[in-house]
Structure 1
Amino acid sequence: MLDSEGLSKWCAADLQVTAYVREAQDNDFRVIASALTPIEAYDMRIKNDRFRWHLSRLRIEPVTDEIAFDAIDLLRAAGLHGHEYAVDAVVAATALRAVRPVVIATSDVDDMTKLCGKEVRVVKI
């Protein structure tokens, strides 16, 4: 799973993130992102066609009512406020509902670990 930083780095051809995505896809794992992730990662400097090409290679998971309520529960359990951590909580809730095994490629290891616990492997990018 890519968070916004993971998606941004993949679009920028970061070698580490590209290797993670390629390895996952080569091994028939789905690479997913929350529907909020492209919005958070959007950067006017990235050409729209390139951005959309990268998105077309991901499975974009919707933010359902269940995901939203799970995200609220995760925020409550971690003692975090939605204003600052809403997107992270949605990403975490999406990861926790995804088919196992799940790896989140993120620059926010501490926050994602707080939100996901030990159920999801969190990898620093």
Structure 2
Amino acid sequence: MARAQSRLSAGTLLFDCEGLVKWCQADQRVTSMVREAQDNDFRVVVSAITPVEAQDVRVKADRLRWFLSRLRVEPVSEEVSMSAIELLRIARLHGHKYAIDAIVAATALRAVKPVIMLTSDEDDMTTLCGKSVKVVRI
């Protein structure tokens, strides 16, 4: 029996904060997308800053650690920081409101293509990533 053609092919599935929180909460849609990504050799990734932002009372620390152990946590290097600064300059954005989004966007732009980002902040992430990243609102 032939395997059904998937919407995904080898690349990267990246979470922002809300994506990670929903996965930790076993959101059916997000869990399904992670399974499909893994079945199709996608890397499932977060920026190292995302768990810091995701840490709140909605997700217990042990559960967050367990889920993080199942994906790749990309470091926030000097190169990523400089890319984030450039993204903010190009988009004419600044301040702490956009800083974490810019780091996540810079991480996405450096990831193995194609990149799908699961986010609750579709507008800002589309502004920062352009057409290089498929931004999916969750």
Match of 1:74 among 87, 110, 118: 87
1:110 counterpart = 2:129: no
- Residue type at the aligned position of 2:26: A
1:95 counterpart = 2:95: no
Q: CA deviation at 1:45?
A: 4.2
TM-score by length of 1: 0.96
Count of residue correspondences: 125
1:39 counterpart = 2:52: yes
The answer to whether the 8 Å contact 1:35/1:60 transfers is: yes
Deviations 1:46-94 (A, max 9, x none): 2222111100111000000010000000001011113210000000000
Corresponding residue number in structure 1 for 2:4: none
TM-score by length of 2: 0.88
The answer to whether the 8 Å contact 1:72/1:82 transfers is: no
Of all paired residues, the percent bearing the same amino acid is 67
**Larger Cα Rg: Structure 1 or Structure 2?**
2
Q: Distance in 2 between matches of 1:45 and 1:106?
A: 17
Match of 1:50 among 40, 63, 67: 63
Q: Alignment RMSD, CA only?
A: 0.9
The answer to whether the 8 Å contact 1:113/1:122 transfers is: yes
The answer to whether the 8 Å contact 2:21/2:59 transfers is: no
Q: Distance in 2 between matches of 1:47 and 1:93?
A: 28
The answer to whether the 8 Å contact 2:18/2:120 transfers is: yes
Q: Which segments of 5 or more consecutive residues in structure 2 lack a partner in the other structure?
A: 1-13
Structure 2 CA distance for partners of 1:53 and 1:74, relative to 1, 3 Å: same
Q: Where is the helix percentage greater, Structure 1 or Structure 2?
A: 1
1:29 counterpart = 2:36: no
Q: Which segments of 5 or more consecutive residues in structure 1 lack a partner in the other structure?
A: none
